[in-house]
Amino acid sequence: MAEARLPLRYRDYCAHLLIPLNKCRHRTITTAPTQTTSSLHSLSEDEQMMKDAVSRFARETVQPLVSQMDEAEQMEPSIIKGLFEAGLMSVETPAKYGGSEASFTSAILVIEELAKVDPSVSVLCDVHNTLVNTVFRTYAGQHLKDKYLPMLSEDKLGCFCLSEAASGSDAFALQTRAVKDGDHYVLNGAKMWITNSAEADIFLVFATVDPSLGYKGITCFVVERDMGVQIAKKERKLGIRASSTCQLSFDDVRVPAANVLGEVGKGYKIAIEILNEGRIGIAAQMLGLAQGAFDCALPYLFQRKQFGSYIGDFQGMQHQYAQIAVDIEAARLLTYNAARLKEEGKPFAKEAAMAKLYASQVAERASSRAVEWLGGVGFTRDFPAEKFYRDCKIGAIYEGTSNIQLQTIAKFLSKEYKA
Amino acid sequence: MSSLRILVGVKRVVDSAVKVRVNSAQTGVETANVKHSMNPFDEIAVEEAIRLREKHGKDVVQEIIAVSCGPAKAQETLRTALAMGADRAIHVKTDDNLEPLSVAKLLSKIIGEEKPSLVILGKQAIDDDSNQTGQMLAGLLNWPQATFASKVDIKDGALEVVREVDGGLETVSSSLPAVVTTDLRLNEPRYASLPNIMKAKKKPLKTVSPADLGVDIRSRLQTLRVTEPAKRQGGKIVASVDELLDKLRNEAKVL
């Protein structure tokens, strides 16, 4: 593209704008002449059908149990079973392994619809689909795919074991050790904050085969519960209480060498790449949460009258819920766009970070407002708003804290704009 | 037991959860941009066909065909039926307004071609609440009918149906072929699971027009006006039966 011919004084002021496009690493948006564009609201027929099916499942099967699961801090086994039977635990898995072989956006829609009703159920489904299943599909050797993908589609829950007490954001400072012993590895160490672990049978465990190699020693192992994984402690949490979050301990756990997923020393790569996708999943969860909170509060605004008017008709309230609706729509578009970019095979890591960051912020604003709009009743446990408010906080923390997301976005931007 | 083919009729209607509003022309309800789904009684019909197949096996229930008469979007409803477990679908495509008699005529033509032994329909659609199509269809085909079914079974090539009637439950038996219409308590329809939704894409869906079937679907009825019901008034507490009768006779004018 030719350099723009601008009058001299403009060129002095705006030199940076004249960096020729071929030197600018900023990705340009191009539309091929024959490509049709559509809004991010457009879903394929399959995606729409899936969305409706999950929405119904969430309302009819999950909704009645949400409150009691939160009080008991326990996921009902019937919900997990129901998720498997409805095919929601193998959305992208190929049909030959028992999956639905659907698009990534379908998985995102599943996570969003579940979160509208219960973010705890949503995260269980999200971790299993976007972290566990995808790791197997993308990086595992054929023997591991053949063995584990059917199990993960049928009835075995998976979890992703990366974080430790001394390594959260600094994930690659992990210390769990894997020592080779004949045709086995012996795992020793402890993991923290592991979602799904109380109910899981299949654990993707990141351990180092050689600490002196730094992150290049990190290896991903497929560990089955009866190889000796122990739940050291189940955390008592502020929110998503029905989702089990546990400390795990590995005490001389023997894992067959065949269960190394991918290559030895390449575990860090798996972790980085998969967390990019997982981010879009969490964005979807937070999006669903925000929408669920909004949907539970708005009808009330047109039922409750004070001073002779519906409270939803007071301008102060109108401005508030209009703003939240805008925020939710923006979060939705960020999330769906990141998902579509990934489906198109285009770079999406920056957009995924943006989606997760923003959606978690919107979830907090929306759920906070929802409690306020419901007034006194919003503060009681009889109404869903307070649970959404408690649940939203984790969005800014797990699968990459908000500060980490900002850092990630900034790194991309500095690469784009540095001459 | 000899093998049989089941034909199920499904209709795309405004979703039961939607709060409908009368349209500005007062000719019907507002359907633009409103959520639609399969008529709940038709879901029960599809579910019953699948349960009969699960109970008696694929050798007995050879094939389940789903049929829908309506505009292009009716295909979504057919895909839901396929996702629930129907084997193939037929779409009679028309944008015209269809009355029960027209639908019964269209179905009877299809039945003439497909030759099912059992036809299961929902007892009525939740948009028009006609409760006529099943009965008219049986009349056109000269087949026995068992309406308002709360239990359906096939025993030795004969049909046994428990019907919910005003007086209680009535058990009837009939030979096949027959028409059955479903009532609410017949079964609890399954969710279309995600793998089945994907598999449904590969199942055959044939589109025909009323002209192809040689059926005249012109309306015999003209809707004059559609209005909302009167707004609910507050209740009143009455002091005696006489006062109640007086109010029912003179104020509410229902006696």
pLDDT at B254 > cutoff 90: no
Per residue in B69-97, is it b (16+ CB within 10 Å) or e — as a string? Answer: bbeeebbbbbbbbbbbbbbbbbbbbbeee
3-class secondary structure per residue, A177-227: EEEEECCEEEEEEEEEEEECCCCCCEEEEEEECCHHHHHHHEEEEEEEHHH
Closest chain B residue by Cα to residue A49 = B197
SS3 content of chain B, % helix, strand, coil (to 5): 30, 30, 40
A134 contact B CB<8A: no
Query: What's the average model confidence in pLDDT over A3-9?
Result: 47
Residue B44 makes CB contacts below 8 A (sequence gap 6+) with B122, B182, B183, B184, B186, B187, B189
pLDDT at B251: 84
Q: Which of A273, A343, A399, A416 is catalytic?
A: A399
Closest chain B residue by Cα to residue A95 = B195
Share of chain B above pLDDT 70, in %: 99
Q: Which residue has the higher pLDDT, B30 or B67?
A: B67
Contact between A242 and A118 under an 8 Å Cβ cutoff? The reply is: yes
pLDDT at A24 > cutoff 70: no
Tokens of A232: 């050291």
Q: Which of A57, A88, A102 is closest, CB to CB, to B198? A: A102
CA dist A280 and A349 (Å) reads: 9
Q: Which residues pair with B174 in a beta bridge?
A: B159
Query: What's the average model confidence in pLDDT over B165-170?
Result: 92
pLDDT at A13: 43
CA dist A354 and A282 (Å) reads: 12
For residues A326, A364, A158 and A246, what is the CA-based torsion angle, rounded to 10 degrees? 180
B195 contact A CB<8A: yes
Reply yes or no on whether A399 is catalytic: yes
Closest chain A residue by Cα to residue B36 = A52
Give burial (CB, 10 Å; 0-12/13-18/19+) of B102.
buried
DSSP H helical ranges for A250-348: 267-301, 315-343
Q: pLDDT, tens digit, for every residue of A55-92?
A: 999 999 999 999 999 999 999 999 999 999 999 999 99
CA atoms within a 13 Å half-sphere pointing along the CA-CB vector of A258: 8
pLDDT at A8 > cutoff 80: no
Shortest Cα–Cα distance, A91 to chain B (Å): 7
3-state secondary structure of A233: strand
Contact between A370 and A297 under an 8 Å Cβ cutoff? The reply is: yes
Interchain CB contacts (distance < 8 Å): A and B: 53
B194 contact A CB<8A: yes
Sign of torsion over alpha carbons B7, B12, B13, B17: positive
Q: pLDDT, tens digit, for every residue of B111-134?
A: 999 999 999 999 999 999 999 999
Q: Which of A51, A66, A163, A173 is nearest to A113 (CA)?
A: A51
Backbone angles phi, psi at B181, to 5 degrees: -115, 145
Binning pLDDT at 50, 70 and 90, where does residue B1 land?
low
Q: Which of B218, B210, B211 is nearest to B67 (CA)?
A: B210
CA dist A101 and B115 (Å) reads: 35
Min mean pLDDT across A40-49, A197-206, B76-85, B227-236 is at B227-236
CA dist B58 and B46 (Å) reads: 16
pLDDT at B156: 85
For residue A56, the chain B residues in CB contact (below 8 A) are 191
- The pTM for the full model equals 0.85
Q: pLDDT, tens digit, for every residue of A124-133?
A: 999 999 999 9
Judge: B37–A52 Cβ closer than 8 Å, yes or no.
yes
Can you tell me the ipTM of this complex?
0.75
Q: How many CB atoms lie within 10 A of CB B149?
A: 25
Tokens of A139: 């990086």
